[in-house]
Structure 1
Amino acid sequence: MISVVPGPDMMFIMATGITGGRRAGVVSALGVSAGLTVHTVAAAFGLGALLRAAPFVLDTVRWLGAAFLLYLAVTAFRSARRPSTEDTRPVRARSLRRTFGMAALTNLANPKVILFYLAFFPQFLDQRAAWPVTVQFLVLGAMLVVIGFVVDASTGFASGALSETLRRRPAVRGWLDRISATVFAALAVRLVVSGHGT
């Protein structure tokens, strides 16, 4: 259920699929999964406790993430202003490697993910089990990453396929880029505003 409910990662993946097509959508899902893997390992080995004890680190990461999302929004808005006759194909300027990196960084820039792990996973850990708690944490995290990737990749593929179909109409391309830019900007604002409660 956590993976299916739309959140910032899924919105980012959908926006990337809209601007870059099916491959970009799936690759961005893979990048988000890579970011979640890093969060899982960090939380399992205690980095989350360190971040929670040093709020200024969380704030720094949060502001850097917001700045990065605003950069993506500006880029998408600029793409929307180009004449629609230039190219009606999905935007391929960004390499898939760069798309992967941007998705991973966007996920890593949200420190609340690691705090979620620390709040959610402990209720499923058993200190009397045969496996050490750290191993249990890593296994639960791996399950969440795999399930999340299946859901996110499906979302990225579907949004990319729809985008590629709609982009055959020249007038639609600018609107798709504007939608993506709005999503990126909204995620940046959400990242900044949500930090006031931490």
Structure 2
Amino acid sequence: MWLGRGVLSRPAILGASAEPMASSRGRIMLKGAGISGLNPKALLLYFSLFPQFIDPAGGWPVAAQTGLFGALHMAACTAVYLTVGVLARTVLRTRPSAARAVTRVSGAMMIVIGGFPLVERLAG
């Protein structure tokens, strides 16, 4: 709820930065891959979803099957994240009002989602 309040009270201003980027695009991509790879939800996916699709008696070793599923998952995530990023950048640059609407909606959603445990605790 605190994050949502912060987003609503100090929305980001879309525009070109006066400062040059400190890192190259490759370095930014590597940082994003590292952050995504360290996400605990990714580990949950590997430990809960992939094992049911791995056949220990199959023709491929378990490590190869796990690697293939991991590579397919990473390729799918990369395609989705790149598409969303490019489309979001295009829409938000051409329509500043859309950027403000996205900021307001995301801030409000953070407050609503943050309030669910509170409502649950009061109701239960």
TM value normalised by structure 1:
0.40
After superposition, the C-alpha distances for 1:45-99 in whole angstroms (9 at most, x for unaligned) are: xxxxxxxxxxxxxxxxxxxxxxxxx4xx84785344x6xxxxx635686945568
Question: Is residue 178 from structure 1 mapped to residue 103 from structure 2 by the alignment?
Answer: yes
Flag structure 1 segments of 5+ consecutive residues without an equivalent: 1-69, 83-87, 194-198
2:121 aligns with: none
Following TM superposition, by how much is the alpha carbon of 1:130 offset from its aligned partner in structure 2, in angstroms?
3.1
Out of 94, 104, 108, the position equivalent to 1:165 is 94
Following TM superposition, by how much is the alpha carbon of 1:112 offset from its aligned partner in structure 2, in angstroms?
3.0
Distance 1:182 1:119, change over 3 A: same
Contact between 2:7 and 2:107, CA under 8 Å: does it hold in 1?
Answer: no
Contact between 1:74 and 1:181, CA under 8 Å: does it hold in 2?
Answer: no
Distance 1:152 1:98, change over 3 A: closer
After superposition, the C-alpha distances for 1:83-125 in whole angstroms (9 at most, x for unaligned) are: xxxxx6356869455686367536634x233122211111211
Structure scoring higher RCO (CA < 8 A, sep ≥ 6) equals 2
Question: Is residue 146 from structure 1 mapped to residue 75 from structure 2 by the alignment?
Answer: yes
Contact between 1:125 and 1:133, CA under 8 Å: does it hold in 2?
Answer: yes
Contact between 2:7 and 2:104, CA under 8 Å: does it hold in 1?
Answer: no
Following the alignment from structure 1 to structure 2, what is the Cα–Cα distance between the partners of residues 176 and 163? 10
Q: How many residues align?
A: 110
Distance 1:106 1:141, change over 3 A: closer
Work out which of the two has the higher radius of gyration on C-alpha atoms and give 1 or 2: 2
Is the partner of 2:49 in helix, strand or coil?
helix
Distance 1:174 1:133, change over 3 A: closer
Which amino acid is 1:182 matched to?
G
Contact between 1:163 and 1:176, CA under 8 Å: does it hold in 2?
Answer: no
Out of 102, 116, 119, the position equivalent to 2:48 is 119
Contact between 2:92 and 2:99, CA under 8 Å: does it hold in 1?
Answer: no
Identity %: 22
Quote the RMSD (CA, aligned, Å): 4.3
After superposition, the C-alpha distances for 1:18-52 in whole angstroms (9 at most, x for unaligned) are: xxxxxxxxxxxxxxxxxxxxxxxxxxxxxxxxxxx
Distance 1:100 1:181, change over 3 A: farther
Which amino acid is 1:152 matched to?
Y
Contact between 1:79 and 1:174, CA under 8 Å: does it hold in 2?
Answer: no
Distance 1:189 1:98, change over 3 A: farther
After superposition, the C-alpha distances for 1:141-174 in whole angstroms (9 at most, x for unaligned) are: 101110221122111111110001013xxxx387
Flag structure 2 segments of 5+ consecutive residues without an equivalent: 118-124
